[in-house]
Amino acid sequence: MAEASFASVRKPTNRPKPITCGIVDGSTLWVGLSKVQTQAQAKKRLLKWCAKVRRSALTWFDPFLKTLTKWLAEIVNYFAERRSSGFVEGLNNKIKTLKRRCYGIGRVATLFQRLYLDLNVIKLALD
Protein backbone atom coordinates (compact mmCIF):
# COMPACT_ATOMS: atom_id res chain seq x y z
CA MET A 1 0.00 0.00 0.00
CA ALA A 2 1.30 3.46 -0.81
CA GLU A 3 1.79 6.09 1.89
CA ALA A 4 -1.06 8.23 0.58
CA SER A 5 -3.54 5.39 1.06
CA PHE A 6 -2.61 4.99 4.76
CA ALA A 7 -3.99 8.45 5.51
CA SER A 8 -7.44 7.41 4.36
CA VAL A 9 -7.41 4.35 6.68
CA ARG A 10 -6.77 6.31 9.89
CA LYS A 11 -9.80 6.87 12.09
CA PRO A 12 -10.34 10.33 13.55
CA THR A 13 -10.16 10.62 17.31
CA ASN A 14 -12.70 12.49 19.38
CA ARG A 15 -10.36 13.19 22.27
CA PRO A 16 -10.47 16.67 23.77
CA LYS A 17 -7.56 18.91 22.94
CA PRO A 18 -5.08 19.60 25.78
CA ILE A 19 -5.75 22.74 27.73
CA THR A 20 -2.91 25.18 28.06
CA CYS A 21 -4.61 28.02 29.91
CA GLY A 22 -3.48 28.82 33.45
CA ILE A 23 -6.82 27.83 34.96
CA VAL A 24 -6.42 24.08 34.58
CA ASP A 25 -2.83 23.58 33.54
CA GLY A 26 -1.48 20.60 35.48
CA SER A 27 2.03 22.03 35.61
CA THR A 28 0.67 25.26 37.11
CA LEU A 29 -1.03 23.22 39.82
CA TRP A 30 2.18 21.36 40.64
CA VAL A 31 4.38 24.47 40.64
CA GLY A 32 1.95 26.05 43.08
CA LEU A 33 2.07 23.00 45.33
CA SER A 34 5.85 22.67 45.25
CA LYS A 35 6.16 25.96 47.17
CA VAL A 36 3.63 24.98 49.85
CA GLN A 37 4.99 24.73 53.39
CA THR A 38 2.07 23.29 55.38
CA GLN A 39 -0.81 20.87 54.97
CA ALA A 40 -3.32 23.70 55.41
CA GLN A 41 -1.77 25.67 52.55
CA ALA A 42 -1.81 22.60 50.30
CA LYS A 43 -5.46 21.91 51.08
CA LYS A 44 -6.37 25.54 50.43
CA ARG A 45 -4.58 25.60 47.06
CA LEU A 46 -6.06 22.27 45.95
CA LEU A 47 -9.58 23.37 46.84
CA LYS A 48 -9.03 26.71 45.10
CA TRP A 49 -7.84 24.93 41.95
CA CYS A 50 -10.84 22.57 42.09
CA ALA A 51 -13.16 25.56 42.30
CA LYS A 52 -11.52 27.13 39.23
CA VAL A 53 -11.92 23.92 37.25
CA ARG A 54 -15.60 23.59 38.26
CA ARG A 55 -16.28 27.22 37.25
CA SER A 56 -14.66 26.59 33.85
CA ALA A 57 -17.32 23.94 33.02
CA LEU A 58 -14.73 21.40 31.84
CA THR A 59 -16.55 18.11 32.27
CA TRP A 60 -13.65 15.73 31.56
CA PHE A 61 -12.04 16.70 34.88
CA ASP A 62 -15.06 15.43 36.85
CA PRO A 63 -13.65 11.93 37.59
CA PHE A 64 -10.35 13.46 38.72
CA LEU A 65 -12.10 16.04 40.90
CA LYS A 66 -14.24 13.33 42.47
CA THR A 67 -11.14 11.27 43.31
CA LEU A 68 -9.27 14.32 44.58
CA THR A 69 -12.16 15.27 46.83
CA LYS A 70 -12.53 11.73 48.16
CA TRP A 71 -8.83 11.35 49.02
CA LEU A 72 -8.02 14.99 49.87
CA ALA A 73 -7.02 14.28 53.49
CA GLU A 74 -4.63 11.51 52.42
CA ILE A 75 -3.16 13.59 49.59
CA VAL A 76 -2.60 16.57 51.90
CA ASN A 77 -0.79 14.30 54.38
CA TYR A 78 2.09 14.14 51.90
CA PHE A 79 2.90 17.77 52.71
CA ALA A 80 3.57 17.01 56.39
CA GLU A 81 6.98 15.43 55.71
CA ARG A 82 7.10 15.12 51.90
CA ARG A 83 7.71 11.39 51.90
CA SER A 84 6.22 8.90 49.50
CA SER A 85 6.31 5.19 48.84
CA GLY A 86 7.63 5.72 45.31
CA PHE A 87 10.68 3.50 45.77
CA VAL A 88 8.64 0.57 47.08
CA GLU A 89 6.00 0.98 44.37
CA GLY A 90 8.73 1.04 41.70
CA LEU A 91 10.32 -2.11 43.12
CA ASN A 92 6.95 -3.89 43.19
CA ASN A 93 6.37 -2.89 39.57
CA LYS A 94 9.78 -4.28 38.53
CA ILE A 95 9.04 -7.58 40.28
CA LYS A 96 5.60 -7.91 38.67
CA THR A 97 7.06 -7.13 35.25
CA LEU A 98 9.79 -9.70 35.79
CA LYS A 99 7.25 -12.36 36.79
CA ARG A 100 5.33 -11.75 33.54
CA ARG A 101 8.51 -11.78 31.44
CA CYS A 102 9.95 -14.91 33.05
CA TYR A 103 6.84 -17.06 33.10
CA GLY A 104 7.87 -20.70 33.03
CA ILE A 105 11.14 -20.42 34.96
CA GLY A 106 11.46 -23.67 36.87
CA ARG A 107 13.71 -22.64 39.74
CA VAL A 108 13.18 -19.84 42.23
CA ALA A 109 16.94 -19.23 42.33
CA THR A 110 16.90 -18.35 38.63
CA LEU A 111 14.08 -15.86 39.19
CA PHE A 112 16.06 -14.15 41.97
CA GLN A 113 19.19 -14.06 39.79
CA ARG A 114 17.19 -12.33 37.07
CA LEU A 115 15.76 -9.86 39.61
CA TYR A 116 19.27 -9.12 40.92
CA LEU A 117 20.50 -8.43 37.38
CA ASP A 118 17.54 -6.18 36.57
CA LEU A 119 17.99 -4.13 39.72
CA ASN A 120 21.77 -3.75 39.38
CA VAL A 121 22.12 -3.23 35.63
CA ILE A 122 21.89 0.57 35.98
CA LYS A 123 24.46 0.56 38.80
CA LEU A 124 26.84 -1.57 36.73
CA ALA A 125 26.38 0.65 33.67
CA LEU A 126 27.25 3.78 35.64
CA ASP A 127 30.47 2.34 37.12
pLDDT tens per residue across span 113-125: 888 888 887 666 6
Is the pTM higher than 0.75?
A: no
Encode pLDDT of 50-64 as tens digits. 888 888 877 888 899
Concatenated DSSP letters of 44-105: HHHHHHHHHHHHTT-GGGHHHHHHHHHTHHHHHHHHHH----HHHHHHHHHHHHHHHHTTT-
